[in-house]
Amino acid sequence: MRFVDTNVFIRHLTRDDPVKAQACYQLFLGAQRSEVVLTTSEAVVAEVVYVLSSKQLYNLPREQIRALLYPLLSLRGLKLTGREVYLRALDVYAASALDFEDALAVAHMERHHLTEIYSYDGHFDKVAGLTRLEP
């Protein structure tokens, strides 16, 4: 198993460097075919979303980011502990004004059937079924 860093996802998804994009495509194709086993982390996925959404860099809409990342995170050869949390977070992110890290928090809460969050971030007040508490 090999770890995949942020820049590999970015090169593949943006194709801003054709040579690297092709190499990244081949890597992910190998993962789809189970020729190689890959893994990554929540931090990397969050950074990919941040970079793709950055107004200074790619400024992609939330729905497009979800559409691009969902298939990659679903690859057979990409082993992710809690894959369903990543995918649910992409859904929450695309459908709300939450940043991706907060969408991850919501996805983790749903997974554990939690309905209350301690936070000073008022945007959690807009999430249906969630109660924000302040310490």
What are the start-end ranges of the H helices in 33-121? 42-53, 62-73, 83-95, 100-111
Residue 44 near residue 6 (C-beta atoms within 8 A):
yes
pLDDT of 133: 97
| Phi and psi torsions of 7, nearest 5° | -65, -25
Domain ranges of the chain: 2-133
pLDDT of 54: 94
- The fold of the 2-133 domain, in CATH, is Rossmann fold (3.40.50)
CA distance 72 to 55: 23
CA distance 59 to 51: 8
Q: Each residue's pLDDT tens digit in the chain (135 positions)?
A: 999 999 999 999 999 999 999 999 999 999 999 999 999 999 999 999 999 999 999 999 999 999 999 999 999 999 999 999 999 999 999 999 999 999 999 999 999 999 999 999 999 999 999 999 999
CA distance 80 to 60: 24
